[in-house]
């Protein structure tokens, strides 16, 4: 291992692996730093299929998808260290960065010209959704339950309730049912599912697991272990409706209430965070407001598919390898927050130019809409959507025809 690299990639999940390979393909010396003992990120525990349709044209399991990426990385000239946690990063006088790493062999320091933040995301916990009642054993995040079942081989429950209809929760509803547990139901406070429509069909409907919309968990009951859960319907302000309360005997509550990009390292570098995504603001090169620092994958925004995670990693790695400090001429991609939840990248750097891989989510479930992207008075995107859902991320590629001064993403009716 060297002490100075062209590109240091923080995180060895699909985003980090793709970033490292594409940076190495540009001739850069690259180091991946991964805190877990094995590379592959969260895909290691996602043993169901459905990954890789866009990237590989095949339905792969999470571990199969990760294995392909790891194989490609091993064939490139990339250094990597595992069981190594990046605890701090600071800018040094020559314009590069110094990383402090807690590794199995103790503390170490590495320097790099550029950084790619690919630290993934973490799950929201029960404390972040304010459930009343006791805190006995038996409350798990869906990812923890997934880790227990798929990696450790332990069954965390015999009869459970799932709060939140995020993808991991629905996937775990199916997984636990297949392993012999009874999933009493999935409870979602909103009036639409939070995860992909395909997961509602394949993970809940196909297994007769009821999905209760506009319903939430109001209380956890239990001394040492969960004994029951109280649920209630909610009104349009998400307030529980008193006379709809119901007690469900069970031994576990599984939470699938959202994911948050991991950005502690980004914050140490004063990287600006977008309130809408909880990830960094970036331009089309996936560069943050701090020159030389790039962000991709779920650390940037929570993606639906690993394929898009890899795509953003590839772009971030390529641009990190070719980065030269220069003047930036940044145009903000404006959008109406009544129509869109968020858009990534949030900026277009006119000096860099080139293609823009744009990801967005609609604010509401809407049908027969058109989405446009205007660069000044040039409409470079004009696309019909039969249906747009907040739970389904859309991805498009566009290229401005000339030097631009403004960019606006907008929605209109489909006639």
Ligand X SMILES: Cc1cc2nc3c(=O)[nH]c(=O)nc-3n(C[C@H](O)[C@H](O)[C@H](O)COP(=O)(O)OP(=O)(O)OC[C@H]3O[C@@H](n4cnc5c(N)ncnc54)[C@H](O)[C@@H]3O)c2cc1C
Binding site for ligand X (CB under 6 A): 10-16, 33-36, 41-43, 46, 85-86, 118-121, 123, 143, 146, 167-168, 171, 259, 262, 265, 297-299, 306, 309
Could you tell me the CA-to-CA distances from 315 to 20, 319, 331, 355, 395 in Å, in that order?
10, 6, 19, 11, 14
Write down the least CB distance from residue 290 to ligand X, Å: 17
In whole angstroms, give the CA distance from residue 397 to residue 342. 16
Write down the least CB distance from residue 84 to ligand X, Å: 6
Nearest-CA neighbor of 9 among 300, 308, 18, 307? Answer: 18
| Torsion angle (degrees, nearest 10) of CA 81, 83, 89, 91 | -10
Q: Which two tokens stand for residue 319?
A: 């641009």
Nearest-Å Rg of the Cα atoms of the chain is 22
**CB nearer ligand X, residue 145 or residue 161:** 145
**CB nearer ligand X, residue 254 or residue 259:** 259
What DSSP assignment string belongs to 371-385? EEEEETTEEEEEEEE
**CB nearer ligand X, residue 38 or residue 367:** 38
Contact criterion met (CB below 8 Å) for 36 and 127: no
Write down the least CB distance from residue 303 to ligand X, Å: 6
- Dmax (CA) for the chain in angstroms is 66
Write down the least CB distance from residue 21 to ligand X, Å: 13
**CB nearer ligand X, residue 85 or residue 154:** 85
Order of strands across the sheet that contains 378-388: 347-349, 330-335, 407-413, 366-375, 378-388
**CB nearer ligand X, residue 102 or residue 408:** 102
Write down the least CB distance from residue 354 to ligand X, Å: 23
**CB nearer ligand X, residue 203 or residue 211:** 203
Local structure of 114: helix, strand or coil = strand
Nearest-CA neighbor of 162 among 121, 129, 133, 113? Answer: 129
Write down the least CB distance from residue 81 to ligand X, Å: 9
Write down the least CB distance from residue 356 to ligand X, Å: 20
**CB nearer ligand X, residue 120 or residue 345:** 120
Q: What are phi and psi of 195, to 5 degrees?
A: -100, -170
Write down the least CB distance from residue 210 to ligand X, Å: 21
**CB nearer ligand X, residue 251 or residue 262:** 262
In whole angstroms, give the CA distance from residue 300 to residue 279. 4
């Amino acid at each position: 291992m060297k002490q100075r690299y062209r590109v240091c990639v923080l995180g060895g999940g699909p985003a980090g692996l793709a970033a490292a390979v594409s940076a190495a393909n540009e001739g850069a010396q690259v180091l991946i730093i991964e805190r877990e003992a094995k590379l592959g990120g969260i895909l290691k525990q996602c043993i169901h299929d459905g990954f890789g349709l866009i990237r590989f044209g095949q339905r792969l399991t999470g571990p199969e998808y990760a294995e392909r990426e790891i194989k490609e990385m091993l064939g490139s000239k990339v250094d990597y260290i595992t069981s190594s946690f990046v605890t701090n990063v600071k800018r040094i006088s020559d314009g590069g960065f110094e990383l402090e790493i807690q590794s199995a062999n103790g503390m170490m320091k590495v320097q790099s010209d550029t950084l790619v933040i690919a630290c993934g995301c973490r799950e929201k916990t029960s404390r972040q959704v304010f459930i009343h009642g006791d805190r006995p054993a038996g409350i798990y995040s869906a990812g923890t339950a997934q880790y227990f079942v798929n990696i450790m081989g332990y069954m965390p429950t015999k009869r459970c309730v799932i709060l939140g209809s995020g993808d991991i929760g629905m996937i775990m509803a199916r997984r636990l049912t297949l392993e012999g547990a009874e999933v009493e139901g999935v409870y979602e406070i909103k009036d639409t599912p939070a995860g992909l429509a395909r997961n509602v069909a394949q993970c809940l409907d196909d297994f007769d697991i009821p999905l209760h919309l506009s319903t939430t968990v109001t209380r956890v009951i239990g001394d040492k272990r969960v004994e029951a859960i109280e649920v209630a319907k909610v009104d349009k302000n998400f307030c529980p409706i008193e006379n709809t309360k119901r007690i469900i005997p069970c031994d576990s509550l599984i939470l699938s209430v959202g994911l948050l990009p991991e950005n502690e390292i980004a914050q140490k570098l004063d990287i600006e965070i977008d309130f809408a995504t909880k990830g960094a603001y970036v331009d089309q090169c996936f560069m943050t407001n701090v020159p030389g620092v790039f962000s991709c994958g779920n650390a940037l925004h929570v993606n639906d598919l690993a394929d898009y995670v890899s795509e953003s990693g590839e772009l971030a790695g390529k641009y990190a390898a070719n980065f030269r400090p220069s003047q930036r001429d940044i145009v903000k991609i404006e959008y109406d927050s009544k129509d869109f939840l968020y858009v990534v990248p949030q900026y277009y750097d006119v000096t860099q130019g080139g293609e823009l891989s744009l990801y967005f989510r609609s604010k509401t479930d809407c049908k027969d809409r058109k989405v446009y992207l205007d660069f000044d008075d040039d409409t470079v995107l004009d696309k019909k959507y039969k249906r747009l859902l907040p739970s389904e991320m859309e991805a498009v590629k566009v290229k401005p025809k000339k030097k631009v001064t403004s960019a606006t993403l907008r929605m209109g009716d489909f006639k």
